[in-house]
Structure 1
């Protein structure tokens, strides 16, 4: 077999992460000759570190409502073709033990490495060739007048490969320490595909010392809250999340804030109901609490340090509730139920879990993930303008978009 023929693939997947490996494995098992290229020394690192090392690999309730995109309908086709139950069955077939942690979030009992190993095993079943570390230097569309069948040429630091299809699965910019890049966006720009502006998402928020007041001293405390973020008329509107909030030395984190960060825009405020489901009037109007110190009443529902901080913020520390006037009571109630605060910013790509924005979905076919403008060019996973809520939804998008792409490759 000639060298030219040996390098002629049905599909080259660029990116050996969740979406890329899954797509390659499915396509390979559907009879496609697939090559995976990645610049990293070790593949699947983002999977390995996800979920505290246990990988929140999907969410049982994942559906279109759990995703942000300029075109919210784009996700429907892919998500309907490959559902959470489908990936769960795959996990079960490998005897990987898992558990539900919170609101449909599924985690490995032992290690995220089991998911990585499963993806490699799926690729092996499909005869997929994986090469890393390899640097992709350029990608070119070939002139079809020669009739060789290949549509694309991929130039790497280890030689030239030709293929009928290119699958861009290089993820996004979060966690640059493990090799994250915006390579897929660069390729899209070179081929004149539109890009929705990207920014960090599912990321902690930072605050100035004035805005954060004495709460910065309470680093490590976690409490359930209700958060609202975003504004009507903005890209994704307003969101409301009922989750835990974590106080850090730089600002706020925890699921509630990470969720809200995807909707937040610079210069806007977020609003926090610290009391969550506690009835404020019932707490403060209870006759049994009249002679208690304000911080002790707050200590019924908050950790003691946080209760003291709230009382101190409204100059009520050490004061019995019966001695607190109507105006001060209302001020404390407003603080606890409608605390509006303006973040200084996010903690950036180093701390972000995902990327908001990406290749504009109007340039892609939602049934196949293929570029409408360039036949044989696909974009899957995080590099597309589809961002999931916290809790396994982004992995489900990786599996679903990869599956839709693989099915299309096999049909061609």
Structure 2
């Protein structure tokens, strides 16, 4: 015999836990199911173990500025109705100390387990029943009864409303799967092809060899990709790795980068490098690398001047053409990534359930009554810095408010 609930939520990550808690606190009988051994592993490892749980720079009047998708305006309704201030108030209510680190990014002072404990406490307040670990073996919809019937490792359960909060493919080592998109396909919903996002980029072959030795070097840059209205630029820190580039600048631009297209890097943003080198040539007898090291880290200066014999001399002896080429390279270094580090190193998955299939008010499938998709399963991808967690909270809240009792 089936156990019956008002709503079943599959996926005990940020969105699933919050949705179950909010619905339970509204008086609904909620079952939360997850296949993983540990709850909310992605929250636990996020933000270097401190959980960057939201971003206070998100503008509720134009939240789509920080999100990407086939329809970036889709996220406006949910994000306007549950704002960073709302989640901050909940964090404060639970006595969790936090701090602002950079550009509105909010982190716990202590371990990210505090956010998991908050969500579990909220679920407990809503009398949410949680089955974990518990695999969902099949999902079926009885149109006559208007109920979803699930076969699980703990038996059959049913409910008139089913919420899919199983995330994307990022970080498969902690249990990420494509379950949510398989359910979408089962019920005829379209998806936008998934791809790794907020992910390091790789550069192959001998061309990268001189820069592989710079692994571990970090510096602030301006980075851009695309042209015209599609051009995107970020001012963030860059990190050289053995295989390519990482750091916040690369993670941010990776979501907008298209395979085969170039990135443009400015290693001295706000500086007229040509003028600085021309001035140094007039006034200095130091080697080019030493003068360049006043603008960029010395390891980078040595790597660039080491490639050109014409730059391995005092700057007053260097040719104007060589210095001009060096200035251009520092200000507008154009390079084409080979690819990404893939889902294993990606923080999130771009793409997902096509937002044209869903209500922006409730996250319910337009053509499949009682079926909801929230969080990372949906084609809404935020910037680095707490925006994806805020989408998890906001989409979960919008869904929970739409769920009905009995």
After superposition, what is the alpha-carbon deviation per residue over 1:128-161, rounded to whole angstroms, capped at 9, x for unaligned? 00101111011111132x5xxx521111122110
Kindly indicate whether residue 155 of structure 2 is the aligned counterpart of residue 159 of structure 1: yes
Contact 1:314-1:332 at 8 Å conserved across structures: no
- Using the size of structure 2 for normalisation, the TM-score is 0.96
Contact 1:308-1:317 at 8 Å conserved across structures: no
Match of 1:295 in 2: 289
Contact 2:274-2:324 at 8 Å conserved across structures: no
Match of 1:313 in 2: 307
SS in 2 for 1:139: strand
Q: Counterparts of 1:179-194 in structure 2 under 5 Å? A: 179-194=175-190
Match of 1:366 in 2: 360
Match of 2:127 in 1: 127
Alignment size in residue pairs = 401
Deviation at 1:314, TM superposition (A): 3.4
Kindly indicate whether residue 48 of structure 2 is the aligned counterpart of residue 55 of structure 1: no
Match of 1:276 in 2: 269
Contact 1:211-1:341 at 8 Å conserved across structures: no
Deviation at 1:322, TM superposition (A): 1.5
Contact 1:30-1:410 at 8 Å conserved across structures: no
Q: Following the alignment from structure 1 to structure 2, what is the Cα–Cα distance between the partners of residues 70 and 289?
A: 54
Match of 1:32 in 2: 28
Q: CA RMSD in A?
A: 1.5
Structure 2, unpaired ranges of 5+: none
Contact 2:311-2:318 at 8 Å conserved across structures: no
Deviation at 1:411, TM superposition (A): 7.7
Q: Counterparts of 1:117-266 in structure 2 under 5 Å? A: 117-144=117-144, 146=145, 151-231=147-227, 237-266=230-259
- Using the size of structure 1 for normalisation, the TM-score is 0.94
2:373 to 371, 374, 379: 379
Q: Counterparts of 1:330-341 in structure 2 under 5 Å? A: 330-341=324-335
Shifted more, 238-247 versus 287-296: the winner is 287-296
Match of 2:115 in 1: 115
Contact 2:212-2:240 at 8 Å conserved across structures: yes
122 and 14 in structure 1: CA distance in 2 versus 1, 3 angstrom threshold: same
Match of 1:328 in 2: 322
Q: Following the alignment from structure 1 to structure 2, what is the Cα–Cα distance between the partners of residues 230 and 114?
A: 40
Deviation at 1:310, TM superposition (A): 1.6
Q: Following the alignment from structure 2 to structure 1, what is the Cα–Cα distance between the partners of residues 332 and 255?
A: 20
Contact 1:369-1:405 at 8 Å conserved across structures: yes
Deviation at 1:120, TM superposition (A): 0.2
Structure 1, unpaired ranges of 5+: none
Deviation at 1:315, TM superposition (A): 3.2
316 and 55 in structure 1: CA distance in 2 versus 1, 3 angstrom threshold: farther
Contact 1:289-1:321 at 8 Å conserved across structures: no
